[in-house]
Amino acid sequence: MKRCIVLVLFLLSGINSLILSQSLLDRFQGIPIIPNNWNSQDQSFYNYSYFDSVADGIIGFTGTENVYYNQFIHNTNLKVIPYNAYGSHITIAKYSDGAYSNWDIINSRYSNDSLAIIKNNDICTTAIDPQMNKAVLKTNNSAVAGPLLCVGPGIMQQIYYSVEPGKKNYTRTDSLKIKLNPAYIGTVPAISRDSTVVCILHTVYKTKNGKGWQEHPIGKPKEVKVYQFLGYDKWIAVTSGYDLSEVSKLGSGNNGNMQFVPQIDFRIEWKKVDYLNLFVNSITVWDERGYLVIKNDSIRTVIKKIALNNEEPQFSHNSLNNNIIAYQTVDEPSCIDNFAVINEIDKLLNDASGGKIRLFMSIANTWNGKLGNELVGEEPNYKVDEILARTNLAFPSLNAYLFNCPYTRDMDTNYKKLNIERLIISLDRFNLIHKPFFLGIQNGFWIKPNDVHLHETPTQEQFLYNINIGLLYGAKGFVPMNYFAFISKKNNVTTDSVSGYFDPANNHYSPLYYFTKNVIKPRLNGYFGRTLKILTQAMQYPDINFNTTDIYNFITSIGFGSLNSYGNNIRPGYDLGFFTGQTDVKYFMLVRRWYQTDYNLPVLIRYDLSSAGYNNYKLYNYNDSTYSYKSSIDTIHISVNPGDGRLFSLAPVAKYGGNILYNETIFGTNTLTGPMTIKSGATLIISGTYNVQSDISVEIGGALTTQEGSIINLQNGARILVTGDQ
């Protein structure tokens, strides 16, 4: 969706706008909502009070001309994340659309540690080159002619740029050298007059059909001859160029401006020169924009000036310190060779601004989470993995719209579950790396010609579920799409019809706007959101099975209604997740899927924490701030509406305070941090050292005892208030 963006940041008040050294997340105490808005070019319908009415003091706004940013800043004094700013001569988004990849023949790997370049061990080996001080590829002394020395990496590349569209012209540079073969006996021609072909460089792409993989050349193969090396044992750069405009358009983006070629390999064919060994160090591939970011001092200086607000045209006075908090990359970059360029721009901005300015990047979810797709051929690596492994961005955002994308009800009767499964694949990838991320969610429709997806506005239950499944998997912020409703036309023909939180043409707020403002935002900014902000997701169990045999962490059985309803052995549409936080506190969240409307009984969970060493627990519900007290083996009744989720914790009373209802003996060294009451009929026995930092009250009929050699240390003015016998 290639337009310009409005980002509206709902933040908590009292945040220092100068702090961005760690992450955008550092600005929030709770979980932020950052509505996204495309089609910002037409500012005529914007009433800036619309933003002020929903924000807590900070809003991000983007457009294409600095005058619009400045107008917004002066009217609202709110925060800005520009996309495609600085006009046509230099934009962060424009240059983040560039490509640059260096494929080390020996060491390049994907994020899953698999080799990106495969070498032919029958005709070559690895050697340590003293000039490079690293491992390189070397032909064997007896290598035969014809076979390929190396093949890879099988990546997808763009045909056209996305920002300021134009054809991408790629340059390939092979780092090569030759040496005399020590096993050769005979006369060696003079190198300057030797036109023998040493190797041939091939660039190909592959497609998949019913007959398997088919290979297709890109451009003409390039012969490399002996005389081009100018001498033995001298590394040279052999350059060749290609573009992809003549390749079949196997994948397409908006308006045909973003099309891809799949499974591109760079290959080197050895021609068997008996008196030579060929050495290969790397293959580097770039387009013009990527090269300028990585190598051109002039462009790099301009990017640094943008970070300091010193590049013309400038934003409003002091807007860097007060308003500009980040820049957008090109929307949803999809190719591996984008990532080195994006990472370099982020580093330039970060270094020049002292950590105040970073890049914000959105990631498009795919059918199975991998780069490429089922039509053009998948790469063997996950998109999220590669982005996180090849960049150091502070806050990536995953765009995933659940309800009719990628499957619609007409494509598969099981489309509801399939779409959730597709999202979970990518959410799992973030979990494996424990990287904070935002989740892009759908809050309106987006109707385009010849596109059957996103044609419906989500229901309240769908919208709520999209948020809760994200929280279950560790999302630390949300980006609803779209803020303003709009209609785009080309030659009087509608190209986009988009709904959002607010329709300026009709002066109308949507139901989801009020739901977000009155329900979602208070929850995410409250204790519920502040808790999830600091917790770390540990494990998730999607679409759990209700029965008495499956064990989920410390939960031993789960079912509906009373204890007698266990053994249903059904999957009614619930997701379960666990988190880590304070020591010995057990956090878990239960989410009911939006389409689950058949079972309206409370969920009954049985758990077993007997091995944890404590017998009294405080059960806390973060949704409504209610609590109760439980033993180490107990049951919990939970009522959850469709789409909603409930976050709970079980905290040992002997450590964090509350009521002791059941007899308990604690061993070793323990510290009490909150007020505790030992209720009538209960005894707490100390066997070890007990550091008491808050008051202990012992009711009549309750008891606090120590075993021989045990110690109770009263700290910070804590007291033991005894009203019973002991």
pLDDT of residue 633: 98
pLDDT band at residue 4 using 50, 70 and 90 as cut-offs: very low
Give yes or no for residue 566 having a pLDDT over 60: no
Give yes or no for residue 113 having a pLDDT over 60: yes
The more confidently predicted of residues 295 and 495 is: 295
- 3-state SS string over 254-276? HHHCCCEEEEEEEEEEECCCCCE
Spatial separation of the C-alpha atoms in residues 408 and 90, rounded to whole Å:
40
pLDDT band at residue 484 using 50, 70 and 90 as cut-offs: confident
Lowest-confidence pick of 32-41, 115-124, 481-490? 32-41
Out of 164-168, 236-240, 429-433, give the one with best mean pLDDT. Answer: 236-240
Q: Residues 530-539: what's their mean pLDDT?
A: 94
Q: Residues 717-721: what's their mean pLDDT?
A: 96
Q: Residues 454-479: what's their mean pLDDT?
A: 93
pLDDT band at residue 671 using 50, 70 and 90 as cut-offs: very high
Helices assigned H by DSSP within 511-652: 511-515, 521-525, 527-534
Give yes or no for residue 28 having a pLDDT over 80: no
Q: Residues 172-183: what's their mean pLDDT?
A: 96
Spatial separation of the C-alpha atoms in residues 163 and 327, rounded to whole Å:
14
Domains of the chain are 5-95+291-532 (3.20.20), 100-286 (2.60.120), 536-654 (2.60.40.1180), 658-722 (no CATH)
pLDDT band at residue 207 using 50, 70 and 90 as cut-offs: confident
pLDDT of residue 665: 97
Which amino acid belongs to residue 232?
A: Y
pLDDT of residue 411: 86
pLDDT of residue 310: 75
CA-derived radius of gyration, the chain: 31
Q: Mean pLDDT across the chain, nearest whole number?
A: 84
Any idea which residue has 């709970």 for tokens? 648
pLDDT of residue 119: 93
pLDDT of residue 527: 96
pLDDT band at residue 568 using 50, 70 and 90 as cut-offs: low
The more confidently predicted of residues 53 and 365 is: 365
Lowest-confidence pick of 285-299, 342-356, 499-513, 615-629? 499-513
Any idea which residue has 């080390």 for tokens? 104
Spatial separation of the C-alpha atoms in residues 88 and 183, rounded to whole Å:
59
Lowest-confidence pick of 273-282, 316-325, 417-426, 547-556? 316-325
Instruction: For residue 284, give every residue at least 6 positions away whose Cβ sits within 8 Å of its Cβ, in sequence order, or none.
Output: 100, 101, 102, 103, 172, 173, 175
Which amino acid belongs to residue 474?
A: G
pLDDT one-digit tens code per residue, 575-609: 999 999 999 999 999 999 999 988 788 999 999 99
Vertex 24: Cα angle to 13 and 27 (nearest 5): 20
pLDDT of residue 378: 56
Give yes or no for residue 21 having a pLDDT over 50: no
Two tokens at 72?
């917004």
Spatial separation of the C-alpha atoms in residues 230 and 221, rounded to whole Å:
21
pLDDT band at residue 127 using 50, 70 and 90 as cut-offs: very high
Spatial separation of the C-alpha atoms in residues 442 and 95, rounded to whole Å:
28
pLDDT of residue 689: 98
Instruction: State the burial class of residue 721 (Cβ atoms within 10 Å of its Cβ: 0-12, 13-18, 19+).
Output: exposed
Spatial separation of the C-alpha atoms in residues 437 and 420, rounded to whole Å:
18
Torsion over CA: 102, 104, 110, 113 (sign): negative
pLDDT of residue 316: 60
**Collapsing DSSP states into helix, strand and coil, what is residue 621?**
strand
**Orientation angle between helical segments 460-472 and 415-433, nearest 10 degrees:** 30
pLDDT band at residue 644 using 50, 70 and 90 as cut-offs: very high
Torsion over CA: 95, 96, 99, 101 (sign): positive
